[in-house]
Structure 1
Amino acid sequence: MNAIFARIDATLPGLEELYQDLHAHPELAFQEKRTASVVADRLTRSGWDVTTGIGRTGVVAVLRNGPGPVVMLRADMDALPVREQTGLPYASTVTAPGQDGTQVPVMHACGHDIHVTCLIGACELFAAHRDQWQGTAVAVFQPAEESGLGAHAMVDDGLFARFPRPDVILGQHVGPGPAGMVAKIPGTVMGAADSLTIKLFGRGGHGSKPESAVDPVVMAASLVGRLQTIVSRTVPAQESVVVTVGYLRAGLTASVIPDEAELGVNIRTFSPSVRQQVVEAISRFAKAEALAADAPREPVITSRYQLPATVNEPAATERVAAAHEGVFGADAVIAMGPNTASEDFGVLGTAAGVPSVFWFFGGNDPEEFHTALLNDRLAEDIPQNHSSVFAPVPGPTIAAGVRAMTGAALAYLTAPTADGEAPAAARLSSPAQV
């Protein structure tokens, strides 16, 4: 492990340059053609066997290095429709067609550019130090995580039929926290997620004569408030549930009452029964608003995606955490509980039927983070993911992310023995042994 990590400092300037390039050129879900091209070029030059276009814009790279376990390493590539406000010299000024075809600003506001950079860094280390490990590494650069559709798209496109089937799948995510800190989360990591659209139907008319129309904007506004009571009045207090209305669209001009309004609703739950309860409540509330307004027809509710909870296999989590303690020190690996955010990473392990491990690592300057913590100003001074000012500090964050991914993979891709066989600790006869 030390021989591989000795090269990290020398590769950091190039990785930081790569990160700044990716950050300045973000791409929305299923539009990641430039990013995929950069990934494919770097890994091809490193000696990986690269396939593009998996799940539309995904990249899969394979590096075979003798007998041993197959370890899949995943990074997501897509950005968000957010206007960047960081003021960085490499800040994004990109715009692109959004879901409805209109131009929207685009920003890497969730750190996926960091994820791509760190996985490329790990891949280049594995390619340069084949004498230090044995087995097969499969690097997956996934599109469209933010849409909830990317992992499903890659699975449907033959991810586990066309490429070596993994014994374990590893993934990571940068977030608020001091760079060099890694979170260990056995069991449930993140909740399930549902994304719904609710279309409300009214009867349009002149803004001066609302009595002759059925106003869907009023219906939508009332429904937004009503939906907030689901958490406080519909589900048990001990359950963790989040219901968010992310957008409300209606009309084009102030003097016209439109015919329709649309809401985008996001749900986070940890229990399948509670999820069903919340979905049913949303449908009931929407229909009730339409009935109260004497709408000409019932609302139409469409599911855009449904993601399962992200769950870490306990034994594999302990194995990865032990590797991280060896890399960063025991004090830098902290135990965390479930997060109400969601990910489609869990789709991969579920589809493959193998253990998976997902962890978080910090992306902030340690001094700045600790100062904010001591002054009780984390919310004010430390931007969260999806914020227009979210900007991990590149150098230490990339170094930590490369070490975390490399160290976790090396917990399985152990150095060969003198007879060329992988050591018993690294051989996996079945996923249950992980």
Structure 2
Amino acid sequence: MRRTVVCLFLWCMLFPDSPQANNPMLIFSGDLRGEIQPCGCAEESDMGGLPRRLTFFKQQLSQNFNLLYFDLGNNFPEPSGQGDLKVRLIHTALKKLRPQVVLLGPNEWLNGLQSLDPTIPYLLSNQSGSLHFLSSKTIQEGEQRLKVFGYLSPNLVYQNQNETPVILPADPELLARWKERLTKNTDLLRILLFRGKVEELEIFDRSGLFDLIVAGSSNDDELNQVMEIKTGSGTFPMIPTKGQGVLTGILEKTGKLTPVNQEIVPADLSVTWLRRILEDAPELQEAFRDYDAAVKEMFFSSLDRMQKQRKESPFVGNKACESCHKTSTEIWKNSGHAHAFATLESKGKHFDPECLECHVVGLKPWVAPADASESALKFVGRTGFLSSQITPHLKNVQCENCHGPARAHLENYKILPATKNSKSTCVSCHQGSHSPLFDFKKYWPKIKH
């Protein structure tokens, strides 16, 4: 026993700043934009998701790290019925992830402040007195002390011009107010969670008020992640878009940060990508099952209303095309398009409208191309697929996904189906993380007819 105590004492003396000395790990993430879980369409882009994030956190805790998690917000999807279900799921996950603060983002604002869970520590330091979020947070972690502020640009949200602004700009008055609050404390590390424009970021950098500024993502392309944002005065870390990864750093007693791995970003933080090697945390399985069940119920609840649309649908399915276009149909049968719906079934996502729209015919209202005939224009806004039970003939990616509704052509063969630019049609689905390796020149020959 005495030998063990001596060894531990010597370890702490020799390596006082090691993780074993319980220096906290700072974690920065957020910016889900409703991407609660990767779609899994392509392995090379299968990153992110709330269940993997929770697994990563648990792994760090098992290595005796004290975690300080800062979420930069913008997690909500755009407002919709399914979006409301995602908001509830995101809040459930956040409660398990236990962030120190969550910066209010433009998507949270867009969904309405009434959608926010009051038990989540939302932060907004540039709010007026009419809002009641956290204005800052002081964190004491052992001997280390941190002060956290959060800035959301008023340019990113809608505010009624006829009313007093509730989100304040980065002007001298705001800086003076923040300076007064910060100079009253001898905080070890002063952190700003930032979401705004480069010009605003430069104002905060030149103010000298903060030791560390971390930006929410302004990047919309998850296939080309951007991990930094530059101003005329410096370069700052930016979190991965759509929650595909997290930024981490060990806070040493000196106040400096040490990256956790070799993929280093500005401010000596490092990025960890949430790949398939991280299993989904079982603690969120029930929440995701409830979400999937609610999406399924929502899907079926709309079928009665959509039954009428079926009778008016301009989409007829491949069987109607086959008798005259046998060669093209054979090429289609041997393509991945002919099995697109089965891909969703294997993942249990065949009731999810966000997935279905690229795996069936006519789920979304049809938009006519520029060369559409007058006969075809009457079908603008019409839909096709309802469910695999009601419209089984419209499962999978078929002729009408690319050529448009065929009913007018079926009734009068002289009326040709509306055509679209092949490449632009393909990239409506083969884009982003859903198809990261898509190359029109390589893919087109597989279905050319």
TM-score tier by shorter-chain length is under 0.3
More strand by share: 1
TM-score by length of 1: 0.27
Which one scores higher on RCO, CA 8 angstroms, separation ≥ 6? 1
